[in-house]
Amino acid sequence: MNRSKPRNPILLLHGINDTTTVFSQMSTYLTQLGWSVYSLDLVPCNGSMGIDCLAQQVADYIAVTFPAEQALDLFGFSMGGIVGRYYVQRLGGIDRVQRLVTLVSPHRGTWVAYGSRLTAAVQMRPDSPFLRDLNQDAAMLEQINFTSLWVPLDLMMIVPGSTACMPIGRNVKLGDWAFHGPAIRDSRSLKAVAEALAEPLRPQVAQRWQAISTKEHRDGVGV
């Protein structure tokens, strides 16, 4: 990893029935590698609130925590990856986020979601109206560095595991199987997340951000 270039702050987004405590190891690991790491508790986290509403919490947090000109990177675990995508695709995050990394996130739904009638669970069912809407313009994620980390056999939450893959961006397979919860602490996951966050912006992404920075400077943002 190239430590000579300044790193964006990274915001960690947890999954359903989790809190920020799930990131204790990841936060320490990334901090030791030179990142400024942030996280927030999405409330309520039990699935009773829609992913769109949780994403608004992310938007509000970013607005009050970081300067308007500050570029960010996002990491989302499980449902947190879908929350991050909604922020990027629907709430203006496309102009704030340079890298989005997701770990075992049900981008194309999970059969496990049929076990609950709570709002967020219904939204994460395969071919749900919510996911159909979000995925129909997922091509906009080509404007950022987008990485999906997945395992073929999740065994607990993301069934089938391949639904954590996307037809765009970079898909990285982490081993042949893993339990859902421990994936956030697995050494392979930590290493893969750090590598994705340290990856240089793709040329077209870098060009777009140069244009954004030029416009912000011209308009007086951050001056």
**Domains of the chain with CATH codes:** 10-219 (3.40.50.1820)
CB 141 within 8 A of CB 169: yes
Q: What is the pLDDT of residue 204?
A: 93
Q: What is the pLDDT of residue 174?
A: 86
Cis peptide before 44 (omega within 30 of 0): yes
- Whole-number Å distance between alpha carbons of 152 and 120: 23
Supply the Cα-derived Rg of the chain in whole angstroms: 17
Name the pTM for this structure: 0.91
CB 88 within 8 A of CB 97: yes
CB 127 within 8 A of CB 109: yes
Token readout for 118 is 């709570």
Residue 139's alpha-carbon distances to 49, 81, 89, in angstroms, are 26, 16, 10
Q: What is the pLDDT of residue 217?
A: 58
pLDDT tens string, the chain, 223 residues long: the values are 444 568 999 999 999 999 999 999 999 999 999 999 999 999 999 999 999 999 999 999 999 999 999 999 999 999 999 999 999 999 999 999 999 999 999 999 999 999 999 999 999 999 999 999 999 999 999 999 999 998 876 655 777 777 788 999 999 988 766 656 677 888 889 999 999 999 999 999 999 999 988 776 566 654 3
